[in-house]
C-alpha cells in the first residue's frame, strides 16, 4: 500500500494486500520468481507481522495466513542462489505436493465441469461434452497442467456453435 502524496499519482491512501487480507489469506503464486528485493520485504512482513506503507512512517500490524506456490521443489530452491533460504524456511511450514494433472486424471472430469460453468456467459446452460471429448481430455498429457485445461475449455466454450463440444 501507500499513503497519499508519497509519489506522483498517489492521490489517495491505498491499502496494501496484507492489510486487505486481515485475518484472511494471501496467496503468492510463483513465489520462486520473486526478486531478491521483494523477498527481503516479504521476509520482514512474515517475521514482524507488520507493514509500513510506501511514504508511511508507522508500521501497521497484519494478521494474514500466507500460501505460497512454486513450480519448483523446495530442494531446488535451496540450491538456488537467487532464493533466500531464510524465506524458504519461513514459508515451508506445511508443504503440500500437488502432482501434475497427468498424474491425477480423475480430477479432469470435475475440473472440466467447473470450467464449463465458469466460462459459459450469462445465465446460459453450459454446453455438453461428448463422451469421446471427455475421453480425449482424460488421455491428453496436459503439459501446461490445470491452466492449459482451463484455456482449452474456455476456447471450446467460446468457439462452440453446435451446443455440444466435440474432440475436434
* Distance, first Cα to last Cα, the chain: 47
Cα of 142 vs its chain's centroid, Å: 18
Per residue in 124-160, pLDDT (tens digit) is: 889 999 999 999 999 999 999 999 999 999 999 999 8
Per residue in 75-126, pLDDT (tens digit) is: 888 888 889 999 999 998 999 988 999 999 999 999 999 999 999 988 888 9
DSSP 8-state assignment for residue 71: S
Contact (Cβ atoms closer than 8 angstroms) between residue 141 and residue 102:
yes
3-class secondary-structure state, position 101: helix
Per residue in 58-78, pLDDT (tens digit) is: 898 999 999 999 988 888 888
Q: How far apart are CA 38 and CA 34, in angstroms?
A: 6
Amino acid at each position: 500500500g501507500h499513503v497519499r502524496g508519497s509519489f506522483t499519482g498517489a492521490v489517495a491512501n491505498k491499502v496494501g494486500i496484507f492489510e486487505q487480507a486481515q485475518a484472511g489469506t494471501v496467496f503468492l503464486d510463483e513465489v520462486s520468481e520473486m526478486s531478491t528485493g521483494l523477498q527481503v520485504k516479504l521476509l520482514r512482513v512474515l517475521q514482524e507481522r507488520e507493514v509500513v506503507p510506501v511514504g508511511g512512517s508507522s508500521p501497521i500490524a497484519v494478521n494474514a495466513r500466507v500460501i505460497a506456490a512454486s513450480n519448483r521443489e523446495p530442494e531446488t530452491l535451496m540450491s538456488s542462489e537467487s532464493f533466500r533460504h531464510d524465506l524458504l524456511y519461513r514459508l515451508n511450514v506445511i508443504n503440500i505436493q500437488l502432482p501434475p494433472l497427468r498424474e491425477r486424471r480423475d480430477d479432469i472430469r470435475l475440473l472440466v465441469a467447473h470450467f464449463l460453468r465458469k466460462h459459459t456467459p450469462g445465465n446460459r446452460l453450459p454446453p455438453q461434452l461428448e463422451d469421446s471429448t471427455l475421453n480425449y481430455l482424460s488421455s491428453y498429457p496436459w503439459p501446461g497442467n490445470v491452466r492449459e485445461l482451463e484455456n482449452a475449455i474456455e476456447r471450446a466454450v467460446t468457439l462452440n456453435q453446435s451446443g455440444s463440444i466435440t474432440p475436434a
